[in-house]
Structure 1
Amino acid sequence: MKEFVKHSEAYAGRPTLNFMKIFYGGSYGLVFNDDSFWNSQKRFTLHVLRDFGFGKLALQETIIDQANQMTKVLKELNGKPIDMTKILANVTGNIIYQLTFGWTVSLESDYTMNIRNQIFEVLDILFHPIGWLCEIWEGFKILDPLFNQVMKKLLEKNDSVLNEIKKEIKRHRETIDYNSEPRDYIDAFLMEQRRQKGENELHGEWSDLQLIGAIYDLFLAGTEAMRCEVYS
């Protein structure tokens, strides 16, 4: 144990998964990224999220607002039974959206449930036989027809999630003011990307692939929180 503590950096790696290449185009993001920049990206993300109130009283306003909206919706039902899954998913998801995208959705919106279901279905591939095979060797994708094109279908859902993220990044690039304070996580990353001269990088710490991977991981964290809220 003393050896682990003394040389913690030597044992602090993350598993290298073939699925990161399949999902993101490489080992990017905040969870399974084992590249040299994993620690700095983790610190950057925590710093940005804290600046926007994560773990602080400043975020309480957003949480209280979401709670008030949920209370209003429930009162309007006048005691009628309701499936709370979508409402709870939106309440939880809106915290992530506010920090990451700078906006929230209506509690009656299907946006969060669509994203949530797509991510859950994508994660299911990790427990499917074709998923195990592809984790051993990516070339096993050629066997997908034997499994009723499971991999192809789930990658289409994964692409749908990625396209939502790319759309938000594009919107931010078109509206960002580099001389002002960042509005959210994407703004903060794009500003740092410009400072690091990484705007034209196809790969690396300040590439769009890393931004996409980081947002995807924040989505994963949010959807896992949704799962706990709904089924606890």
Structure 2
Amino acid sequence: MGDGQLPLRDVVAAELRRLILDGTLQPGERLVEDRVAQLLGVSRNPLREAMRVLEAEGFLDVTARRGAFVCQLSARQAEDLFHVRMALEPLGARLAAEVEDRDPALLARAWAIMDLVRESGPEQDKDTLSNLHSELHSLIFELTRNSYLIAIAIPMVKRGQWLLRQSAPLQNPAAWSEHHGLLAAIEAGDADLAEAAARHHVLRVRNSLRPLLDHD
């Protein structure tokens, strides 16, 4: 395992995250280090480092005596997550729009994601779509150049990806259409519109997931 570019810890963390997101590792399941290390073809040291990363992101619950378990996202936790998203995502969109010397490569990549999703259509697999969605929202926070906000928001984005992956709304083209207006407002430097677009997007996603949250 490894692509020669990312640290092995990050490669292992990405694979563990994928196994949790696609349901291979179920909520509440205990991770036996030797078994997981053998599955991923790595030693225990990079695995433990990766597990610490996922613990910080909220995917794993790790204790000295009990070991590591895949976290379970309850309806209350999902609702709490949306409360945080409602605070941070509109702020991120506003700050991204207000940055005068924003990184053009980040915005170009965001538009490239939109093009890729549009061209691939609903046939794109859920894993790819959820990864692209997570990257897109992460890029918006990176555009703010606010290191404090980025440090707080990126783990939130990844945790939100877990919830979206379970409900799979991302295969609906309408779920992506709102991002176009959000990116356009950021590119135009319209902070008020970007903030409003981000808030509307979070509210719509929360409402679309309401049946899932109400039947925990």
Structure number with the higher helix fraction is: 2
TM-score by length of structure 2 reads 0.30
Question: Quick check: which has more Rg, 1 or 2?
Answer: 1
TM-score by length of structure 1 reads 0.28
Structure number with the higher strand fraction is: 2
